[in-house]
Amino acid sequence: MGVFLYLDTVLIPLSLFLMVGYHANLLHSFKNRPSCTSIGIDALKRKVWFLGLKEGGDNKTGMLAVQSLRNTIMATILTASIAILVNLALAALINNSYNGSYMFKTAIFGSQSGRIFALKYGTASLFLVVSFFCSSMALGYLIDANFLINSSSDGELITSSSPTPDASYTQTIFERGFILALVGNRVLCMAFPLLLWMFGPLPVILSSVALLWGLYELDFVAKFTTSESVISLDT
């Protein structure tokens, strides 16, 4: 029975270590072998799409940009909305949960002390706020990139010497929007296991392992050709 009293101090840091370590490995793979990750492949395809878009030079360029960015903008809005709504619901739930914490006195639910109780909801709330912040920043960048693409839909971004933002600046804004949207989505995913901490540390570690298994299937490409593996994001 004494083992259960220390589950919070062992399983929660282990869960956070697994999630942070997985994304550190994903970032390393993205930087060094982008073609073996779905994120890297998407980045490569976006770069090719963006260069082709800027070289098109016809009146349909702006409409194509709007249609291509619309789904990403809508998904980012959904992520930001979920993050802030869950955070507000969590704030409203804290008082009632604290009053009903006597129901979770079994050792398997972990410690129910005041400090641990505040840490449970504070950690989850922090992750939700970070997710909302990143998603909000991503929306700003994506809307700005959409405007920059539309304002140069006739190809003057490449062919003209007028003082308009150049293609590299537009592409930087474009990529920052997608990266921040991805970060906001992943931080939101990491927040959900922490929300289960109110039921004890065991659901946290189990849901973290399940989450990492699903993300691994989504993020890493099992098969990639030799020619694809040498493609770099800098080319």
Q: What is the pLDDT of residue 134?
A: 94
Domain assignments of the chain as residue spans, ordered by start: 2-225
Give the pTM. 0.80
Cβ proximity of 157 and 97 under 8 Å = no
The per-residue pLDDT for 197 is 84
Query: How many Cβ atoms sit within 10 Å of the Cβ of residue 217?
Result: 10
Q: What are φ and ψ of residue 171, in 5° steps?
A: -65, -35
- State the pLDDT at residue 228: 45
Q: What is the pLDDT of residue 170?
A: 82
d(CA 37, CA 219): 5
pLDDT value at position 226?
Answer: 42
Instruction: Output the pLDDT for position 225.
Output: 45
Q: For residue 23, give every residue at least 6 positions away whose Cβ sits within 8 Å of its Cβ, in sequence order, or none.
A: 186
How many angstroms separate the CA atoms of 1 and 132, rounded?
Answer: 40
Alpha-carbon span 191 to 30, nearest angstrom: 23
Query: Which parts of the chain have pLDDT scores under 50?
Result: 1, 155-165, 224-233, 235
Q: What is the predicted pLDDT for the residue at 59?
A: 54
Q: What is the pLDDT of residue 114?
A: 65
- For 109-131, write each residue's pLDDT tens digit: 666 666 777 788 888 999 999 99
Q: What is the pLDDT of residue 158?
A: 44
Mapped onto helix, strand or coil, the DSSP state of residue 61 is helix
SS3 210: helix
CA distances (Å), origin 24, targets 30, 126, 197: 10, 20, 23
pLDDT at 118: 78
